[in-house]
Each structure stands twice: as structure tokens, then as C-alpha cells.
Structure 1
Amino acid sequence: MSQSAEVLNPVHRVQEKTTYKILLIIGLTHLLNDSIQAVVPAMFPILEKSMGLTFTQLGFIAFALNIVSSIMQPIVGVITDKHPMPFALPIGLTSTLFGVLGLAFAPNFTLIIVSVLFIGLGSAIFHPEGSRVAYMAAGTRRGLAQSIYQVGGNSGQALAPLITALILVPLGQRGAAWFSIVAAIAVGLLVYIAFWYSNKLTIQNAVQKKQIERNGERKISKHIWVTLFLILLLIFARSWYISGMGNFYAFYIIQEYSFTIKQAQLFLFAFLLAGAFGTFFGGPLADRFGKKNVILVSMLGAAPLTAILPFVTPAVAFIILIATGFILMSSFSVTVVYAQELVPGKIGTMAGLTVGLAFGMGALGSVVLGYLSDLIGLSQTIFLMSLLPIIGILTFFLPSDQKLSKMNSL
């Protein structure tokens, strides 16, 4: 055995070990972070009534929240790939804490926008670094690790309807202030994560240095760029649909089924909770059956369900919402891992690009769908939105998992 192998073997053994404690903590903080973000769309029915906001204005609030993450997440990822900053995690959540306090007491539309920008900035810092922590703690189970991390976020988002029904409806806008406590808890947990992250960096840097000495810097080929573009298009379709459901479907079923706000939020909760379960199971399924296969089934499997959803009774809609949420979101963590393995060594950049793009496309979708709802009506907009998962046919053009491994070995 060579001297370099003797040095690297203990390091590899540490790298291969899955650190479940860290995965559970980062998943929990992701839940807390995204439950705070969920307060924003959860407040839409409240703000529409109390401030008389239009669907377009509500779309711009969602845009302000998400576009900061879209722009900043890849930037944060690029910077931290070169200069990792473990304590950026608690600093980001502190920004979120200030944002949620501002949201609770904002007297007008302008200050609401400013407040959600602070929340968006905190999210932009948290997500790529949180994904890096999950990758570092994954060992050989990268799909499972990303699922644990991402299911925390999706579970937090799924809490939005319950937040509306149990907190915001009785307490109004000021009820958002309670989530400053949630943010403070998340900051404390992330301080612990930051210390673990700092220690792990020493080991990770040793491995990367040896790999670069042996293989040199990796260049990104044209084929990889094309594949990455296809992944981003798939995220585009999924994000527009999820964003549209989260921001406007409650209004649709209130209008079509004569539901109350609480009843509508329960339907939305079922959709988002099923999505959280789909996110969790998608990673382990990808570890076993392949990432491309899970992405394909996720997108095309959801397409017929989303197409018929606007035409069914409330009882059937409830069942379809659960099935659609589970199937469509099963690819959420998988697309992140696919991109990270497509471009090894750019963990934060790929996480920021894929997850950040998901927020960004959701932001753009919120504005477009809000405008269409004002222009052509909510029913027609929901129907057009239901066709988005058909774009999943592009999955056929992605390299298989085996080919992806060969591309990485070149």
C-alpha cells in the first residue's frame, strides 16, 4: 500500500460513514426555516382581506420572497465552494428572524415586501450550505441524506395551511410574530451544526487536495452543460406547478367548491404533506432504482393526475391532491443529487442552482400565474398550470445513472 493510500484510507472511512445525527438536525432546521417561509403564502388570504391586495400584488410578494433566493443561492454556493463559511448558517437564520418580525408588524404593502426580502436572504444563505452539510454527512447514502434534508423543508412548507387555520385566521397578521421564536431555535441548532461543519472541513479538504494532485482540476464538458440545462427545465415545470398550487389553489377551491378558508387550507395541507412524504421516499428509491428512473416516474406519473384535477368533485380532488403531491415531489431531492454528481466538487453551486432555481421559477410563476388569474380568471389559469408536468418527457434525454458515473470518471 502506498503512502498516499495510507493517508487517504482513514479519511475515506470517515467520509463513507453516514452521520444520522447531523442529518436529523439539519433536516429539523430546514423544517423550521421553511415553516417560517411558509408564513408568507399562508398569509395571502389574510392580507387580501385586510389590505385589499390584488392577485397580482400577492404574486409580487411571493416574487420578492423567492427571487432573492433564486439570485443569491447560486452566488452563495459558488462563494462557499471556494471559501466555506460554516457560521453563515446561523447568520442567515438571524436575517430570517428580523424578516418575520417585520412581516408581523408591517402596516403597508411596501414594508411587507421589505420584510420578505430579509426572509428570502436568510433562505438564500441557508439552502446551499444546508445541502452541503447533508452531502458531507451522507457517506454513501446521498439520496437518503438529501431526502432527510429536503423533507424537512417540504414538511415546513406543508405546515402553511395549518399555520393559516390555527394561527393566522384567529390572530391575523400579528400572529406571524410567534415565528420569531421558531427562528431563534433554528439559530441555536445551526450554531451546533457550524462547529461540526468546521471540524469536517479539515477532513474534506485533505481528500480534495489529494484528488486534485492525482487528477487535476475537472473541466465541465458541453455534454454536462446540456444535461444540466435539461435538469433545470424539469425543475422549471415542477416549480411552477407547486408554486401555483401553494399560492392560488386555495382561492380556486374556495371559488369552485364554496369552501371556507379553513377547509381550503386542509386540502392544500394534504397536497403539501403528501409532497413531504414523496420527498423523503424519493431519495432512497433513487439509491436503489436510479435517479433518472425516479425523476421520469415523478414527472410523467403526475401528468395525468394534474390534467384531470380541475374537472373532478371535491372528494376525488382530495385523493388526487395526495397522489399528485407524493409522486411529483419524489424527484425533489433526486434532482439535487443528480446535479451534484453531474458536477462533482461544486456541491454548493449545484445545490444553489437547483434549489435556488426552484425558488426562482416559483417566484416567476407566482407573478405570471397571479397576472393570468386577474386577466383570464382563476379556473382557466389552474387548467393551464395543470399541463406543466408534461414537460417531464424531457427526462428521456437525461444520461442514465451508469452513463453519469462514466462521465464523472473521465
Structure 2
Amino acid sequence: MSMQTSLPKDATARSQAPSGLDAQRTVYRILIAISLVHLFNDSIQSVIPAIFPILKDSMHLTYTQIGWISFAINFTASIMQPVIGWFADKKPTPSILPIGMGFTFTGMLLLAFADSYMSVLISVIFVGLGSAAFHPEGSRVSHMAAGARRGLAQSIFQVGGNAGQSLAPLLTRWIFIPFGLFGAIGFTGIAAAGIAVQIYIARWYGRMLRSGSYLRKQAAARRVPNPALRKKIAAAITILILLVFVRSLYIAAIGSFYTFNLIESFNLSTPDAQIYIFLFLAAGALGTFFGGPLADRFGKRNLIFLSMACAAPLTLLLPYANLFWTGVLLTIIGFIMLSSFSVTVVYAQMLIPGKIGTVSGLITGLAFGMGGLGALVLGNWIDVFGVSPVMQVCSFLPLLGILTFLLPSDQLLKRWADENVSEE
């Protein structure tokens, strides 16, 4: 009897052992799984701006109304991501992951049967809520599975999202152009697959929480800085959010409105114009993957600066390029600008250690979602001034990357974390 009693205990110990090990090593199966769901989530979210030309023609919308749709999905995610991230920092909740994808499923189901402008707005709000629920907890899972390779883990996580964004123009070309809005019904299958993968991830996440190792590490990472240092951290995070907003506004301008510029300037069809947006976003996905290793070599703040400074001359040339060079420039700009996408998240985590959800909500939520607010303004301007002049104005945005030099260096961030003192 004693032997029979001991066997279940040993089996239980063995089943719990991986959780303790997973807290120390890089868990690639989880990183790949969460990156795959990121691909699902962002491909669905990104088809919304990709189908703007279809919505404009089928529902006879103005550019301002297009801007409101972009605002609805981005601002919903913007408002909710910091809230969900703050809540999850207080009480990590694995079930948020499949529930969030359930909102995305609902949004695409509603979009498939949308027959009015208002029904489209409601549909994209559901998609925005799903994205808001996914990103803070997805970033936390990436952090939990990273082990000692945080930069690589964040790059793996983010490259899934940017790869998903890059697929949106092609998915629009193959699905929405032939089938109209009803093509959204196919994305409910992608969302359903995402729910299944999220359940698998949530179970691993739950085991990590029950092991206690992750919560102990997070509690040890948190600190209450002295007042002088707190002010410097607040100033740095404000500048970082502004930089992410500028980058996101430029990406929103390309993703939401540049198709119209290509159609107007080069007499392209909508399907052909989508190819150029795909080049921009696909190159951005590659840039995201390589950004982490480059930041490890050259420094996170340096890469954030270079991603803006090196893109600026090219963005200034873009409005005046012919069709061939437009494709070349969009590809290079996408790679360079989005190389800092994952790096800004890791940099923010260094600024505010121990609050992964809150940081992710601020950077990938609030700052990125503010790009949706900018898209609303751009839509109004395009109605008044035309698409080409507004694209020319947007070409100056990367010049604001000079603000990166107001951020503390990587070495100073490490000193703050180690000593909890302000700069001498």
C-alpha cells in the first residue's frame, strides 16, 4: 500500500517540476505558441484598415468616416489595454487569453453580416476589445517564458503580430475583394483556432502561477523609487510613449490611407495597391525579428533612435518617388521603422520593472492606439486637403526621433535598477 500511495505523489511532483524549470529557462514551445496567436490576432485586427477601400466604395463613406472606424478599433484597444494590464499585474488571470480571442471571434462574426456603418463600428469595437485583452497578457506570457533571453523572447512574440499585420493586404486581396464583408466569416475560423491555442497557453500560465516562482520573481523586481528618480522615470516613459505614438501614427497613415494615395497617384487597382502595403508590413515583420539582436549589440536606446533617424530621409523621399521606387522605399522604411517595435517594450520594462501588464498596456496599447486617434485627424485632413498633401506632411514625422536622446541610456537604466538612485 505504501508503494501505491507514493506513486501518485511522485507523479504529481514530476508533473509540477516543469513549472519550476520553466521559470529559469527559455520555453520556446510557449513563445512559438503565443507568437502564433499574436499572428492570428493582428492579422484579424489589421484587415480592418486593409478593407477601408472596400468599405468606402460599398457604403459610400467619406475619409472622415473611415477615420472614425480606425479610431474605434484603435482607441478601444488603447483605453482598455492599460486597464487590463494594471488589473492583471494585481491579479494575473490566465482565462483572459481565450476570453479575449472570443471577443475577436464575435467581432468578425458581426462584421460578416454588417449592413450599415453603425454595425461596422460595433464589429470593430469587439475586435478592439479582443486585442486589448490579448496584448498585455500575451506580453506577460512572453516574459514568463523568456528565461534569461528577454530581448529574443519579445522579438519572437512581436514578430508574430507584425507578420499578421503584413498578411492583411493579401487577405483583403484574396478574401474581401472577391466576397465583400461576408469574407469576414472565414476569420472566425482563425479566431477559433486562436482560442484553442490560448487554452493550451493558459494552462501552462496557470501552472506557472501555482508554482509560485513567477510571482516571487515579480515581487522581487518591483521597487518604490525615491521621489527624484520617480520623476525621471515618469519623464522617460512619457517621452517613450510620444515616440511610439509618432511611429504608430506614421504606420497608421501608411496602413489606412496610403492605398488611396497609390490609387490616385499611379492609377492602380485596389488589389495591386494592397501589394505595396504588404511590402511595407512584411519588411516590418522582418525588422521586428532582427531588432532584438541588434538592440543587444548596439543598445536599446540607440536602436530606437536609429529606427527613426535612418527612416527619416527615406520617408521624406517617398511622396516624390515613381512607382518602382515607391515599392523599394516602402520596403526599406518598413524594415527600419519597425525594427524598434519589440525593443521599445523591453526598454519600458526596464524603466518599470515588475509591472509587465501595465507596461505592455502603455506601450503596445495606449501609445500604439493613439495612432488610431491620429488616423481620425488624418481622415479629416484628407477630406479637406486631399490624400497626397497629407502624406507629404506625414513624411516629416520620423524627424521627431531626435527626442530619443532625452531618454536615459541603457547603462543608466541598469544603474537605476541595481542601486535605486537618481543620476548624479
What range describes the TM-score normalised by the shorter chain of this pair?
over 0.9
Return the match for 1:95 from 84, 103, 118: 103
Q: Distance in 1 between matches of 2:332 and 2:231?
A: 37
- TM-score of the two chains, using structure 1 as the length reference: 0.94
Q: What's the counterpart of residue 331 of structure 2?
A: 322
From the CA coordinates, give the structure whose radius of gyration is larger. 2
Q: Are 1:130 and 2:147 an aligned pair? A: no
Which position in structure 2 is the counterpart of 1:7?
none
Retained in 2: the 8 A contact 1:302–1:389?
Answer: yes
The amino acid across from 1:258 in the alignment is: N
Aligned partners of 1:67 and 1:359 also within 8 Å: no
Deviations 1:291-344 (A, max 9, x none): 011101101110000011000111011111110000000011000110011110
- What SS class does the counterpart of residue 32 from structure 1 fall into? helix
Other-structure match for 1:105: 113
Alignment match, 1:6: none
In structure 2, distance between residues paired with 1:216 and 1:42: 43
Aligned to 1:84: 92
Query: CA-atom RMSD, angstroms?
Result: 1.6
Q: Distance in 2 between matches of 1:392 and 1:253?
A: 26
- Matched with 2:256 is 247
- Aligned counterparts of 1:55 and 1:163: Cα–Cα separation in 2: 22
| Amino acid in the other structure paired with 2:252 | S
Whole-Å separation in 2 of the counterparts to 1:267 and 1:352: 30
- Spell out the pairing of 1:10-159 with structure 2 (5 A cutoff): 14-159=22-167
Q: Which residue of 2 aligns with 1:258?
A: 267
1:204 counterpart letter in structure 2: Y
1:204 to 209, 214, 233: 214
Pairing 1:170–2:178 present:
yes
The count of residues paired between Structure 1 and Structure 2 equals 398
| Aligned-pair CA distance for 1:359 | 3.3
Cα pair distance change 1:95/1:13, threshold 3 Å: closer
* Cα separation, 1, equivalents of 2:218 and 2:167: 39
Could you tell me the TM-score, scaled by structure 2's length?
Answer: 0.91
Identity of matched residues, %:
52
Offset at residue 77 of structure 1 (A): 0.5
How far is the alpha carbon of 1:216 from its aligned partner?
A: 6.3
Does 1:269 find its partner at 2:278? yes
Higher mean C-alpha deviation, range 113-122 or range 216-225? 216-225
Match of residue 319, structure 2, among 310, 317, 321: 310
- TM-fit CA distance, 1:285: 1.3
Please give the alpha-carbon distance, in whole angstroms, between the structure 1 residues aligned to 2:197 and 2:175.
24
Aligned residue type for 1:397? L
Deviations for 1:60-105, whole angstroms, at most 9, x for unmatched residues? 0111011111000000010000100011000000011000010111
Q: Would you identify which runs of 4 or more consecutive aligned residues in structure 1 move more than 2 Å?
A: 10-16, 206-209, 215-220
Distance 2:340 2:372 in 1: 20
CA 394–161 in structure 1, closer or farther in 2 if over 3 Å, else same? same
Are 1:141 and 1:287, in contact at CA under 8 Å, matched by a contact in 2? no
Is the contact between residue 245 and residue 368 of structure 2 (CA under 8 Å) also seen in structure 1? no
Paired with 1:402 and 1:16, the residues of 2 have a C-alpha distance of 24
Map of 1:229 onto structure 2:
238
> Quick one: which amino acid aligns to residue 90 of structure 1?
P
Contact persistence 1:244–1:385 (CA under 8 A)? yes
CA distance in 2, matches of 1:284, 1:90: 31
Distance, in Å, in 2 between the alignment partners of 1:278 and 1:354 is 18
Q: Are 1:235 and 1:357, in contact at CA under 8 Å, matched by a contact in 2?
A: no
From the superposition, tell whether residues 271 and 216 of structure 1 become closer, same or farther in structure 2 (CA, over 3 Å): closer
Counterpart CA distance in 1 for 2:223 and 2:402 is 36
2:217 partner amino acid: V
SS of alignment partner, residue 310 of structure 2: helix
